[in-house]
Structure 1
Amino acid sequence: MINFLQIFSFSVIAFLIAFLLFPVTIKIFKQLNWFDTPGTHKIHSASVPSMGGVAILVGASLALLMILPLQQWISFRYFFTSMALMFLIGLRDDVLALTPRQKLFSQFLPVFVLVFLDRTLLSSFYGLFGEGEFPRWLTYSVTLFTVVIITNAYNLADGIDGLAATVGIFATVFFGVWFYLAGEPYLSLISLCFGGALIAFILFNWQPSSIFMGDTGALMVGLLLSFLAIRFINLNYALQVDNSYRFSASISTALAVLIVPIFDTLRVIILRLKMGQSPFRADRKHLHHRLLAMGMTHAEAVKWLALMNLGFIILAVVLKALPDQVMIPLLVLLCLVISFVLKWKEPASDNPTHDA
């Protein structure tokens, strides 16, 4: 069993390894001419090296190799396999771009490994609509849908310098600390080691960015967050009712931690469908696009969204005694208010769109 000092120490090691790797990977990617070039729906105006996920994965993995016992590697083998597969899909997309549909369908292999082999599953309503277990077909369907949504929602958040890293840091730190308090030190270790690597990444990704996360990192970290969120929901729900670390609203707490990518993705999909457009259509309707259109700088937009994310997390902690039946409507109401404010503040201008 490992203690929190060891977990923290190796998250620092993950940070240091990634921090030292980023200048090297940036130089290599420049030499290989592997850049993310500007596009109609993209915000950056210069070619910037992508594939920041390489250093994130190596930093976290090397730190874990130093401390994670062999038995735990065996226990988490399918999780790590799914992460490696998702990393390779992201790498392929960063080197030779996939269409949105190709990228979506290619994700089903790593998601299949995570859901069917690792058995990371959402198996009930967790008290939201009663206590009954899902039928097996519904368990797998709901879990597959959830993992794909969270993974791609996080990937879509990687549209402005520092945003995806900020969301990832908040989530991995929250889940990492909670897992330790709840008696799951190895889940805490995995979460915080990736958190340490993400902190190193944001130092190179803050505007003006010297490297982007790319699909290499965004898809992989998105899968990680879906894994952590589902594990949190299951473990939290299984705690004794009188446990001081138990949240009465398992689902809502996970939603609050990941509110920025989930809210942003659902909002954009609804807007596109409302306009009769494909959900895969790339445009400038994302939250960060709206904030930039209101006159904010990149840094200001990220700070605003970070405060929003932090505010939802604090709300979930303060109201931890309230059930999902109360918290979910509250989260939806707050998101609707934010949407109306953004619409009210939105300048009258056309939003160019094109198929991604």
Structure 2
Amino acid sequence: MQQSPPNGTPAVIAPDKPSFWRASRRNNSDGSTGKPQQAPVGSAIFRYRGYFRVCGKPDHHQLCEKFYLPNFSSTIAPLNSPHSVAYTMSPALQQFLLAFISTLAFIIVLARVAAKAGLVDIPDQRKKHAGDIPLVGGPAIFLSLILATIIFGETHQSILSGHTREIAIFLFAAGILVVLGLIDDRRHVSVFTRSMIEVGVALLVIEGLDLQVSQLGDLIGIGSIKLNDWLAYPFTVICIFGVINAYNMLDGMDGWLAIMVLITIFAFHLFTRTEPRLITLTLTASLLAFLVSNLKVAPFVPKSFLGDSGSKLLGFIVVALILAVTSTQIGGTRYIQPVTALYLVGLPIFDMAFTILRRILAGKSPFRGDRTHIHHLMQALGFGQHRSLAVLTTIGLAPPFMGLILHNSGAASHYQFYMFIGCFFIYCVLMSQAWRIAEQYQQLKDHKNSVGQNAGRHKTPYA
């Protein structure tokens, strides 16, 4: 049925099912061929709240305007009818395709440059891979994010309207981490220098984007905990610093960190009940393109790693998203409680905390890299690449799934916090037992290898 859109704009015929294509009526009243006019996408009755923020529960037209999706309330008329339609690709699909294709292109180009510049990962005692792999995944994703922001940010004014400064600060802060990671990949940067730069980036985010955690909620059941500026600043810095390094530590197996970030993005939208925005849509497409390279899905795309630049960038984007939905500085709305956000980054936090505790108990430096992370455990147990990814993905889904249940059930903040601490305790116990099994497995494997070598050495050939 033909609908009457507002403000006298051309009528649009509504489809039975949603589509990534939008339809618009021909300009000519007689139905003849003419330049199509883009269909209206709903009324702009609310304002954008920030680069990462979303509206609570908008109606259909608000969703179309907010997330730049096609107006799904129109149908397609036959081409030979007076209401013939023309098709234009949805901006959401354009953003996705642009990010996917541009990331692949950047990886192909940067891989050649990296080989000449020495920006490659060389296998050693700690890094078990074949050949020198370009560390260009992070720069490729970052360049795709910039490209998508430039192209779609200016075309869809509600993205940048009044928020150009905030977006510039976000990209500048992310760029600092990418450059830091590239330098660290090329030539080692001391722990102190890295830490100071990351703390500086955290302060830039707090001051420039006005993002900080000042209200923790009722964590221990005695009332809401509110932090003043003297406590909120260092606490937010610790949160940003911790999440960035947690995701950096998690990067050690092909495809694992990218899959973990995809899980985080998916859970983020489930928790906040929001639609994909420019940043999450672009990041999702870029990560899928990176997986094509990292897992060698397409032979024409060279294998690449994220490197420290990529892992730090992904950790920064994740923590920026979380701060945006747990604070009230942007838009005056908090979508989830800070304690609920812990479940979004549950496994990275668990892995980092357990690894640091294990190193300290072993008398080692907590900042010295080793092979004691959860992905190294999979290798120590003898799991192959695909089996390890399947097991790790299942484990990575557990914290967000549990957090989603608690969030939707309206569980109190202190109950969610106690459950998170309990999950970490269980994680430590299970990981400790798993590492004992892995050590026994390695000892048995080494014993069999030594017996086999001795048997082959003393074997007498037949006459």
Q: TM-score range by the shorter chain?
A: 0.7 to 0.9
Deviates more, 1:205-214 or 1:96-105: 205-214
Per-residue Cα deviation, 1:207-237 (whole angstroms, up to 9, x for no partner): 7981100112111111111111111222599
> Aligned residue for 1:23?
108
Per-residue Cα deviation, 1:80-120 (whole angstroms, up to 9, x for no partner): 22111111111211222213333222222222211222221
- Of 318, 324, 349 in structure 1, the residue corresponding to residue 413 of structure 2 is 324
1:340–1:216: structure 2 CA closer, same or farther, 3 Å change rule?
same
TM-score (norm 2): 0.67
Q: Which amino acid aligns with 1:119?
A: D
Residue 86 in 1 paired to residue 150 in 2? no
Distance 1:237 1:62 in 2: 26
> Aligned residue for 2:280?
191
What secondary structure is seen at the aligned counterpart in 2 of 1:258?
A: helix
For residues 114-125 of structure 1, the aligned pairs below 5 Å read: 114-125=205-216
Distance 1:336 1:302 in 2: 23
> Deviation of residue 3 (structure 1)?
2.5
> Aligned residue for 1:243?
none
User: What is the number of residues matched between the two proteins?
Assistant: 340
> Deviation of residue 239 (structure 1)?
5.2
Per-residue Cα deviation, 1:117-163 (whole angstroms, up to 9, x for no partner): 22210112123253343111100010001100000111111111111
Distance 1:207 1:253 in 2: 36
Residue 156 in 1 paired to residue 214 in 2? no
Do the aligned partners of 2:216 and 2:226 also contact (CA within 8 Å) in 1? yes
> Aligned residue for 1:46?
131
Aligned-pair RMSD on alpha carbons? Answer: 2.7
Larger relative contact order (CA 8 Å, sep ≥ 6): 1
> Aligned residue for 1:107?
198
Do the aligned partners of 1:87 and 1:216 also contact (CA within 8 Å) in 2? yes
Deviates more, 1:228-237 or 1:71-80: 228-237
> Aligned residue for 2:13?
none
TM-score (norm 1): 0.86
> Aligned residue for 2:290?
201
> Aligned residue for 1:354?
none
- Of 297, 306, 315 in structure 2, the residue corresponding to residue 213 of structure 1 is 306
1:106–1:4: structure 2 CA closer, same or farther, 3 Å change rule?
same
Distance 1:348 1:176 in 2: 39
Residue 224 in 1 paired to residue 224 in 2? no
Q: Which amino acid aligns with 2:226?
A: E
What secondary structure is seen at the aligned counterpart in 1 of 2:419?
A: helix
> Aligned residue for 2:23?
none
Q: Which amino acid aligns with 1:327?
A: Q
Distance 2:331 2:416 in 1: 15
Q: Which amino acid aligns with 1:143?
A: T
What secondary structure is seen at the aligned counterpart in 2 of 1:125?
A: strand
Do the aligned partners of 1:252 and 1:328 also contact (CA within 8 Å) in 2? yes
> Deviation of residue 293 (structure 1)?
0.8
Stretches of structure 2 that go unaligned for 5 or more consecutive residues are: 1-64, 70-90, 444-463
Residue 55 in 1 paired to residue 55 in 2? no
Who wins on radius of gyration, i.e. which is larger? Answer: 2
- Kindly report structure 1 stretches of 4+ aligned residues shifted beyond 3 Å: 6-9, 176-179, 235-240
Do the aligned partners of 1:11 and 1:193 also contact (CA within 8 Å) in 2? yes
Residue 257 in 1 paired to residue 344 in 2? yes
What secondary structure is seen at the aligned counterpart in 2 of 1:107?
A: helix
- Of 234, 247, 259 in structure 2, the residue corresponding to residue 141 of structure 1 is 234
Distance 2:434 2:245 in 1: 27
Do the aligned partners of 1:53 and 1:216 also contact (CA within 8 Å) in 2? yes
Kindly indicate which of the two structures has a greater share of residues assigned to helix.
Answer: 1
> Deviation of residue 8 (structure 1)?
5.1
